[in-house]
Amino acid sequence: MLTLRFFARLREQLETSQLAWPCCDNVEALIDSLQAQRGALWGELLRGANIVIAINQVVARRGQRLCDGDEVAFFPPVTGG
Amino acid sequence: MRVDISVQHEDFDAGAELADLRAASRSVGAVASFIGAVSDSNEQQRVSELELEHYPGMTERSIRGIAEQAGRRWELLAVRVIHRVGRLPVGAQIVLVGVASRHRGEAFAACEFIMDHLKTRAPFWKKERTDSGERWLDARASDAQAAARWSE
């Protein structure tokens, strides 16, 4: 299983902060599976041009391979400081 | 190089933190610092408070990475970063970046470098409450440009 995490505006739009999800080959396949089971909004928001993806708390690319147990986070551009 | 990172709800005593940086080593000859605070206005709107969300774990790891990157670029003796989360009223301190080094040049530059990268890489998000409701702040192109100039 993967642990999925969503933050800030994305967390509110998806009404989800954390989710356990079956493992997928890569982030692109993960988004396909979320879209198929949760609806088009998920695909649309998670493919947003600005959305940042982190795997195990390190910023990653959509094509990066996933392993069982990975933590995958999706979030909008950061605005701290 | 000593690196201390805190992400916390509580306020901090900037004077005590700077004294602690100065005492990090007998070689310290300079301490530079930056404090970010909640301003009462943003983009022509009156702000009443900010709410800061973060990604626990990745936040600390990301700031530590930035501090260590600064430590490879300049000769630093100690770095202290405190970032607050949760609800913060106008006037509240949000962030402290403090750097101790032998000479002022390194301390000034590293302080700005850490702050510029924190703003574009550390996973924090600000929600602003104004007279007309609440909104998530968008990332600014000027912040990305500020961070990018360090790689020129």
Range of the domain at B114: 2-151
Over residues B18-52, the pLDDT tens digits come to 999 999 999 999 999 999 999 998 888 899 999 99
Q: In A, which residues are within 8 Å of B52 by CB distance?
A: 80
Q: How many domains does chain B have?
A: 1
Q: Which residue from B74, B58, B57, B142 is spatially nearest to B114, judged by alpha carbons?
A: B74
* One-character DSSP codes across chain A: -EEEEE-HHHHHHHT-SEEEE---SBHHHHHHHHHHHH-HHHHHHHT-TT-EEEETTEEE-TT-B--TT-EEEEEPPP---
Residues B31, B108 contacting (CB under 8 angstroms) = no
Residue B95's closest chain A neighbor by CA?
A81
Interface of A with B in 29-68 (CB under 8 A): 50, 54, 57-59
Give the model's pLDDT for residue B131.
Answer: 84
Q: B76 at the A interface (CB within 8 A)? A: no
Q: In B, which residues are within 8 Å of A50 by CB distance?
A: 139
Give the model's pLDDT for residue B45.
Answer: 84
Band (pLDDT 50/70/90 cuts) for residue A14 is: very high
What is the interface pTM, i.e. ipTM, of the complex? Answer: 0.94
DSSP B117: H
Residue A5's closest chain B neighbor by CA?
B55
Residues B108, B98 contacting (CB under 8 angstroms) = no
Residues B33, B43 contacting (CB under 8 angstroms) = no
Residue A55's closest chain B neighbor by CA?
B58
Q: A9 at the B interface (CB within 8 A)? A: yes
- Domains of chain A and any CATH numbers: 2-75 (3.10.20.30)
Which amino acid belongs to residue B33?
Answer: S
Q: Give A27 to chain B, closest Cα distance, Å.
A: 19
Measured between alpha carbons, how far is B11 from B6 in angstroms, rounded to an integer? 11
Do the chains contact at B95 and A5, CB–CB below 8 Å? no
Instruction: Supply the pTM of this predicted model.
Output: 0.94
Over residues B76-91, the pLDDT tens digits come to 999 999 999 999 999 9
Q: A77 at the B interface (CB within 8 A)? A: yes
Q: What CATH number is attached to the domain comprising B145?
A: 3.90.1170.40
**CA end-to-end distance (rounded Å), chain A:** 34
Q: B125 at the A interface (CB within 8 A)? A: yes
Specify burial of residue B15 (Cβ count, 10 A radius: 0-12, 13-18, 19+): exposed
Measured between alpha carbons, how far is B27 from B47 in angstroms, rounded to an integer? 43
